[in-house]
Amino acid sequence: MKFSLVVFAAPDGDPATLTALKFAQAVLDQGHEIYRLFFYQRGVYHGSSLAVYPQDETDINQAWQSFIAEQQLDAVVCIASAVKRGILNAEEANRYERPSANLADNFTLSGLGQWVDACVHSDRVVSFGEAQ
């Protein structure tokens, strides 16, 4: 079975983000496929390479980044949500004349068309967190 996940939850303590990660791991452990991970609204903060967590907290951004890299998953950060929240790749940083990019490796910026494509090509679509 082919799954796509959309993460609305921010990484700053919302339990839905850890639930999403554990669900994604379980999907693969059960032999299913993840077509796409889509980070939307406050969920785009997962794509930041600059977040630093206290030692007594789970570094959920690093956990997602490692999982995406290890599993070679398609991880898309909504460009409209990201840019407005200061998550930029090199192209957008240049376009908006910002001093640097901070989109983590293995994430791509793209539009909602990628989410529509994921919905069309997946057997199941699961969302985590509340749309804001």
The neighbour count for residue 92, using CB atoms within 10 Å, is: 16
Residue 119 annotated among the catalytic residues of the structure: no
21, 78, 88, 104: the catalytic one is: 78
Which whole-number Å values give the CA distances from 124 to 1, 25, 75, 131, in the listed order? 8, 15, 17, 19
- Hey, which residues are catalytic here? 78
